[in-house]
A and B are shown apart, each in its own frame.
Chain A
Amino acid sequence: MTASVARPSWLSPDRFRTTPARLRTWSTVISALLIVAAIFASFATQAFISSVDQVERSTGPVLISTQRLVGSIAEADAANTAVFLSGTATDRQQQSLFENAISRAPQQLEDVSTGIGEDPESHEALKRVASQLPEYARLAERARTANLAGDPTAVVDLQRAFELVSGENGMIDNTRIVTSRTQAGFDDDLSAGYLEWIGAMVALAVSLLVLLLAQRNLRARTRRTFNIPLVLATFCVIGLAIWLSLALVGRQADLQSAQSEAYDSIALTAELQTLAFEYKTSEALAIINEDIDVFPSEESNSVIEDRLDSLLTSADSTREEGAVALLKARWDRYESTSSKVRSALEANGTSAARSLAITEGNADFNGFNTTVESVLLANRDQFNDSVASASNRMRWLRLGAIFLPMLAALLTLGGYQLRINEYW
């Protein structure tokens, strides 16, 4: 049964006291609330997407590019040392290795620079590397030519070149800054979007509450159990709340998996590479200065072995274990040659030590260094897969965050309109 009433004038205050007017007010308020919920949900979605984008475009690629840059510097330095120690103009292969590695580095620097975003500390560190790199190449070349000419200042230039690489505030130190800033950034990305999510959930909860009250109010007024459009609008709100929560949990799980299964391994491998490079540099300095005290200590080797064990422990698949086993075998091979170099130096056989270091030692170090890169790239793929999974979760969420509340608002307006129409 419906009541038939005379239409009040638009300007009459009575208009707002009629049942249709009250119903219209209800529907307007609920729609407004749903629009607010849509805005909050969009903010939350945007925050989720931005954090995943940040990880996908920046965090992972920056860490990998930084380590590839370290790899190039290590390869260049190993080759440069070999050319220097061989003291001949004909070591074309090592010279070519040096030049190739040096020519790769600027692109890697560019890759890092593109990925680090606005972080001023990282940019400063990169700026220093960018100016140190050509200076290093210039010093290395000058040391090589002076060495060929028998000029004793060659060693000074070479040591300055070493300083630029692994001295205080040198290229390796600067890449460490970028790495640690990136790691901190990743932690921020992992926690991003929580506040926005809470905001969206509050807005959706309020909308839901009001929708339930509206349903109750309508039932009292019209004696009908359900207003179907309003029920559907309620489902839209509940659905969006569930979807947003699942997206948050899923994103968290994917990014944490990216972190634990790949990123931590990348960070550990990166540290390992730097330590190994410092080991190699100490070995070269010991040979050049004929000073056994500078030779890398047993302790340095133990630290590297520890990192390799940690890497093996953190491997989460037989494939990764296989890769780390290769890395360990490559290190053992290099370390064994390095021990022979040490023994030769201790026996005052500088020439034998040089010869061993620039042939077998250098090849073994390159074997280790490139295997590090190979492990890094495998972890990058694993990392990308996890991040891509997080990204996929967000694919339709942006649209859903707007569409579902809007649909709910339209359903609410429609549902109320059905009731209002019964009064005319």
Chain B
Amino acid sequence: MRFTRRQFIAAAGAMTALGACGRAGTGNRPLVRTGQLNVINWAEYIDPATIAKIEAATGLSIDYREVYVDNVSGVEEFIAPVLGGATPTYDIITPTFWVADQIIEQGKAEPLPLEAIPNHVNIDPAYLINDWDRGSRFQMPWQGGMTGIAYNPELVDGEISSINDLFDSKLAGRVGLIGEMREAVGLAMLSNGDDPSRPSARTARAGLAKIRQYVENGHFNAIVFDDFVDFLTEGTLAATMAWSGQAAALQLEDERFEFVIPTEGAISWFDTMIMPLGALNYASAAEWMNWAYDPLNAAEIAAWNLYVCPVLGTQDVLRSQGGDSAALAENPLVFPDADTRNRLFNWGTLDRETERSIELEFDSLFDFFE
């Protein structure tokens, strides 16, 4: 039997209660090299050629699958079984931070073997201060990102600079809604003048109500994930809530498109590498993580996916390489400067029950697009 997205979110509540009694390992698991590694990641996060390079550098045989499409289905398919006690079929998975938070809370993440990951020291301190994993003991950020607005100036008849521009009636029926609740509701909260980094049930529900209103009246005509690129290039959408990395890549391919951090701000997030409890190739996973956190290798990854790089020293590496790499080092979408960082909002903490009910309600909006 397969769950629907909505059934899964409801079931996840019960699972949280069940898993709450779990406890993570204490980090004394021995490092036994198996030579194998299974990684599950989102699409277009790494150049396939880089995988071969990692294999050559580490001697690992890597099964790399880009099958993590969104957090709800990703949790359903890959994470829920592990939370339920099954032996994981992968060694590293890269859910968004709030999913990692729940895995760690339920004691289903392996503590990182720090002796095998000396490059852990290169994690940007901005990623170390999360209350749910202070100092990053259980996860290492893969890439960060921003959810802002991508648009085609020719189709919107001018510039878009504010989130409220997305709700302008002149764009009715030509706007995309991002399919991740925290990002969509977060942007709506910013447009309402509320702070998504300090959400309350009232402000979050107000953001959701605004989105519902514009879904019901047909203003949004698609729920998008990384497919927003296709919708924009086809012209189905004139503007959409969009992820920075893919938007930046789109801009490189086609200069017609713009990506903006709205005046009210954008939502920042990160997807993070986590080893599920009982991962079979624990030592290999540590090798992968250490490889990814070498600034030289991180530069290669960042230059390919154009997402926010969480690895200290990468910017310097790119600068030293000159040419396009040096230009990339100054791209605030990959290395946000102080001004950009000040305009980014991380989704804050709501109580689990409220968050789940908002998640369910947001998910019900998918019905309008079926």
Residues of A at the B interface (CB closer than 8 Å) are 71, 75, 90-93, 96-97, 100, 104, 317-319, 321-323, 325-326, 329-330, 333, 359, 363-364, 366-367, 370-375, 377-378, 381-382, 384-385
Contact = CB atoms under 8 A, between A and B. Distances in A.
Which 5 A-B pairs give the minimum distances between C-beta atoms? A374-B135, A322-B115, A367-B125, A322-B114, A370-B128
A377 B26 contact: no
B137 A377 contact: yes
Given A321-B115, A322-B118, A374 B136 contact: yes
Given A363-B126, A372-B135, 7 more contacts: A93-B341, A93-B344, A366-B125, A370-B134, A374-B135, A374-B136, A378-B111
B26 A370 contact: no
A370 B125 contact: yes
A100 B131 contact: yes
A388 B149 CA distance: 52
A210 to B, nearest CB: 48
Contacts of A381: 26-27, 111
Chain A CB within 10 Å — which of B115, B136, B342 has the most?
B115
A378 B27 contact: yes
A351 B143 CA distance: 33
A71 B128 CA distance: 13
Contacts of B217: none
Interface in B324-355: 338, 341-342, 344
Contacts of A367: 123, 125, 128
A323 B134 contact: no
Contacts of B125: 363-364, 366-367, 370
B207 interface: no
B11 interface: no
A370 B136 CA distance: 8
Chain B CB within 10 Å — which of A371, A382, A384 has the most?
A371
B197 interface: yes
- B-side interface size class: 20 to 34
B219 interface: no
Contacts of A93: 341-342, 344
B178 to A, nearest CB: 23
Contacts of A333: 121
Given A100-B131, A329-B121, A371-B135, A90 B114 contact: no
B120 A326 contact: yes
B27 A96 contact: no
Contact of B118 (A104, A326, A384): A326
Contact of A91 (B117, B124, B342): B342
B116 interface: yes
B135 A377 contact: yes
B129 interface: yes
A319 B137 CA distance: 12
A308 to B, nearest CB: 14
Contacts of A321: 115
A323 B111 CA distance: 12
Contacts of B197: 96
B203 to A, nearest CB: 16
A363 B342 contact: no
A97 B338 contact: no
B113 A319 contact: yes
Contacts of A366: 125, 128-129
Contacts of B136: 370, 374
5 contacts: A326-B121, A370-B128, A372-B135, A373-B134, A373-B135
Contacts of A319: 27-28, 113-115
Nearest to A382: B26
Nearest to A325: B118
A374 B113 contact: no
B115 A90 contact: no
Given A321-B115, A363-B125, A370 B135 contact: yes
B129 A378 contact: no
A326 B134 CA distance: 14
A372 B125 CA distance: 12
Nearest to A104: B131
B116 A92 contact: no
Interface in B121-157: 121, 123-126, 128-129, 131, 134-137
A371 B129 CA distance: 9
Given A92-B342, A378-B111, A378-B137, A371 B118 contact: no
Contacts of B123: 367
A326 B126 CA distance: 16
Contacts of A100: 131
A370 to B, nearest CB: 4
A373 B132 CA distance: 12
Nearest to B339: A90
A323 B125 CA distance: 16
B122 to A, nearest CB: 9
A117 B40 CA distance: 48
B263 to A, nearest CB: 13
A326 B140 CA distance: 14
